[in-house]
Structure 1
Amino acid sequence: MRVLTIELILLLSVVLSPVYFILHGIQTRDEEKPKVNSSGQTDDPINGQPYRHNSVRRDIRYPDIVGYPVQGVNTTTCPNAIRVETLKKRCENSPIRNYKYGDGPREHLRHVVLDHDKKLFYCLIGKASTKSWLKYLVNLKHSNQKGHLRHNNFLQTVGLEMYRNMPLDLVNETYKDYFKFLVVRHPLQRTVSGYYEMVILHKRYKNERNKLLNFTEFVERVTSNMLDLNMHWRRYINLCLLCKVDYEYIVKTETMDEDIKGFNRAISVNDEEMTVKLSHQNPFTDNDEEDTTQYNHHYKYDKMLYELQRKDPDLMKKLLNVYGEDMHLFGYKWDWWRGRSTCGMEYDDRECC
């Protein structure tokens, strides 16, 4: 009887031991996940994982731009009023309210396109679907003319006007009744896009060995001297005087298909054909085919940013500091843990407010 009992115990241990290890493994993996405290922030990871969350926050002037993304995937955008109100509230405590611009004429907007008939005021930001929106404004004039969208001579032929440097007093006096809007994009994604266009495609910006800058070298120069402040990566705060101009509509390229519908209603355009199509090229290819897969497009750009973070975390922190105020004002974040850009402020569980 005692022999049978021992054999039964041995048999049960053989049968149950895999179950124990499976359950223990699940529990261990759960324990390794970052914990969320009562304030909604995450505690430090265990096992000495690199890029500790809190240490990153101490090195970045705008701690709210680093962290976990808002829950939810492929959700719709939030009302424009939330974006506008959030921008105004964040401007109240922003250092750029009294910011003295040291990279050109002070208190000037860099590029503004005007439609005097509909009283539209568009502050143009490079690498934020500018070509698509200029086409949109041309189509609003019901014009079939072809020409260079950024040449003032062509724009004037269709009834539009571009100012290269518009003084702030002119904005507040002559154009105070115009419907002011801008189109923004995640600043880090925009920087990668600027690198792709100006360095890879147009073969500009070389290093001391007379070779095109790699992305790390490009970021080093952008964070040090802004590469002559090219408009393709110039900061929003240096382009559109965000806290000194009363913008009424904010479009995000990440949700442009939804935003354009509300924009049409805001300017009383009922034509269903008046839409804007994103026209991004495939990253790091030499052809002109459009990348219709937005996920792949953003993933490739985020992959470059993650590689930069992995190889040189200090340089990544510098990049985040350079564009920190742009990201803070519009709710953009960089998920340091997962190595990807996120779009949006917390609103109704939606990811891209």
Structure 2
Amino acid sequence: MRLKKRRKPRANGWRVIRRCVVFFTAICIVPVLLVLMVATDRYSRPVPRHSTYVRHQFVEIEKPTVEAYLNRNISIISKRMERRREHMKNMCKLLNLDRPGNDSLHKPNPWEFLIDNKHRLIWCNIFKAASTSWMYNFNILAGYSPKFLKKTKIVPMTLARQKYPRPSLQELRKAFNTYISFLIARHPLERLLSAYRDKIQYALPNTYHKKLGNEIIKKYRYKKNPIPTQKEPTFEEFVEYLIDSVKNKEELDMHWTPIVEFCTPCMFDFQIIAHTETLQEDQMYLIKLAKLENIIQPEWKNPGRGSTENQIQKYYSQLTRSQIFQLYHIYRYDFELFNYSLNGYLEYGTTDKDPSSLLAAISMKDFEQNDLPKVY
């Protein structure tokens, strides 16, 4: 009985090719995934447990109820304010934003402050962050009646500046020594969306922002395939315009200028840092601290078209993740100073067709401290 010779396996060329493909794919993809994981962890860091960043439903509360509510929760709100102040001070120091200088980040900017000497109150007006509500409150404190404010066609800011002229830096610093000071922060990307919807998407005819919208369409719409049918700029087109404006070092509109340049908060010691996410409690606390309970009430006048918060997925799903990362870098200091993250935004972005675009957006975080955010 003859034994059959065992044939030697033939070299399989396809198997070699497959192994090469797997090897080179691993070399190319794994570093990308690692960078993305690290970056995502940084930008989408979990919000500290002690921070209340879930928006409370805003409802009207009667005076006796407000008093009782504050009596029960005054210590909790007070500690929240102290944590926010401490966090901002630490970040200002870490980012070298607390050192005076001549650029827009380090030169104290008193332009948007309102000082109420009668009630010893200082407010930095940040557009699209409950500014309508507090412009109304300051006009009430100035002596205008609710009936007059409801009927007049004069712009609320114009009315307010008749009573609260823009202060000099010396006047502002003096007031900070003894007055109650506050600002209201809002998530940078929610504030940006609110500005887009109010000033660009629903811009009134023959206004500056309507003309700006037409210019955005003319410059950016030709890139689209297919071309959008809506008459106003899409959110993506607006974001492209904003990113290019920062690249070209153009001055940004006051409705979407970063807070860190608008109010230079690291140059002043704000007593109260309110957030729109906890605005009802923060307002009640502020009003009680300033002893204004009998003059103004906690409220949030929102003239916009519905809640911006409920529109986040609809609009940010129009952007790629690299575009959302680029927006982060434009508002990087606002994110850091007020302890916000990209949670609730980045996951809605679409996947970039070119992975290098995402890597380039991620790498933008590596710019020098003490410098303006850059977009490459």
Tell me the TM-score normalized by structure 2. 0.62
Residue 69 of structure 1: how far off its partner (Å)? 5.0
Answer whether contact 2:110 2:263 (CA < 8 A) is retained: yes
1:299 to 302, 306, 310: 310
Q: Give 1:24-173 correspondences, 5 Å limit.
A: 54-55=35-36, 57-58=38-39, 64-68=42-46, 74=54, 78=77, 79-98=80-99, 100=101, 102=103, 106-141=107-142, 143-144=144-145, 145-146=148-149, 147-151=154-158, 154-155=159-160, 160-163=163-166, 166-173=167-174
1:324 maps onto 2:294 in alignment: no
Counterpart AA for 2:269: D
Q: Show the counterpart of 2:236.
A: 216
**Alpha-carbon distance in structure 1 between the residues aligned to 2:173 and 2:136:** 27
Secondary structure in structure 2 of the residue aligned to 1:334: coil
Counterpart AA for 1:306: S
Q: Show the counterpart of 1:333.
A: 341
Secondary structure in structure 2 of the residue aligned to 1:189: helix
Q: Show the counterpart of 1:229.
A: 252
Answer whether contact 2:92 2:266 (CA < 8 A) is retained: yes
Among all aligned residue pairs of Structure 1 and Structure 2, give the percentage whose two residues are the same amino acid. 19
Residue 128 of structure 1: how far off its partner (Å)? 0.7
Residue 102 of structure 1: how far off its partner (Å)? 4.6
Residue 215 of structure 1: how far off its partner (Å)? 1.6
Counterpart AA for 1:277: W
**Alpha-carbon distance in structure 2 between the residues aligned to 1:217 and 1:138:** 36
Q: Show the counterpart of 2:26.
A: none
Residue 339 to residue 68, structure 1, CA distance change in 2 (3 Å): farther
Residue 167 to residue 315, structure 1, CA distance change in 2 (3 Å): farther
Which structure is higher in strand share? 1
Q: Show the counterpart of 1:39.
A: none
Q: Show the counterpart of 1:254.
A: 277
Deviations 1:37-87 (A, max 9, x none): xxxxxxxxxxx9xx96852654x9xx7542345679857785222211221
Answer whether contact 1:123 1:182 (CA < 8 A) is retained: yes
Answer whether contact 2:114 2:122 (CA < 8 A) is retained: yes
1:207 maps onto 2:236 in alignment: no
Deviations 1:143-186 (A, max 9, x none): 313342110xx2266xx3041xx554442235532221111111
Which segments of 5 or more consecutive residues in structure 1 lack a partner in the other structure?
A: 1-47, 283-290, 341-353
Answer whether contact 2:142 2:160 (CA < 8 A) is retained: no
**Alpha-carbon distance in structure 2 between the residues aligned to 1:90 and 1:331:** 9
Residue 156 to residue 192, structure 1, CA distance change in 2 (3 Å): closer
**Alpha-carbon distance in structure 2 between the residues aligned to 1:251 and 1:193:** 18
Deviations 1:171-211 (A, max 9, x none): 22355322211111111011111111221122233236376
1:245 to 248, 251, 268: 268
Secondary structure in structure 2 of the residue aligned to 1:108: coil
Q: Show the counterpart of 1:27.
A: none
Deviations 1:97-116 (A, max 9, x none): 24756569943233111211
Counterpart AA for 1:223: I
Tell me the TM-score normalized by structure 1. 0.65
Residue 264 to residue 98, structure 1, CA distance change in 2 (3 Å): same
Residue 247 to residue 161, structure 1, CA distance change in 2 (3 Å): same
**Alpha-carbon distance in structure 1 between the residues aligned to 2:282 and 2:267:** 23
Counterpart AA for 1:66: S
Answer whether contact 2:185 2:275 (CA < 8 A) is retained: yes
Residue 242 of structure 1: how far off its partner (Å)? 1.0
**Alpha-carbon distance in structure 1 between the residues aligned to 2:338 and 2:236:** 26
Answer whether contact 2:97 2:106 (CA < 8 A) is retained: no
Q: Which moved more, 1:73-82 or 1:177-186?
A: 73-82
How many residues are matched? 268
Deviations 1:257-298 (A, max 9, x none): 11111111211223386222241522xxxxxxxx3xx5xx31
Q: Show the counterpart of 1:313.
A: 321
Q: Quote the RMSD (CA, aligned, Å).
A: 3.3
Answer whether contact 2:141 2:295 (CA < 8 A) is retained: no
**Alpha-carbon distance in structure 2 between the residues aligned to 1:135 and 1:75:** 22
**Alpha-carbon distance in structure 2 between the residues aligned to 1:298 and 1:109:** 30
Residue 235 of structure 1: how far off its partner (Å)? 0.7
Counterpart AA for 2:90: K
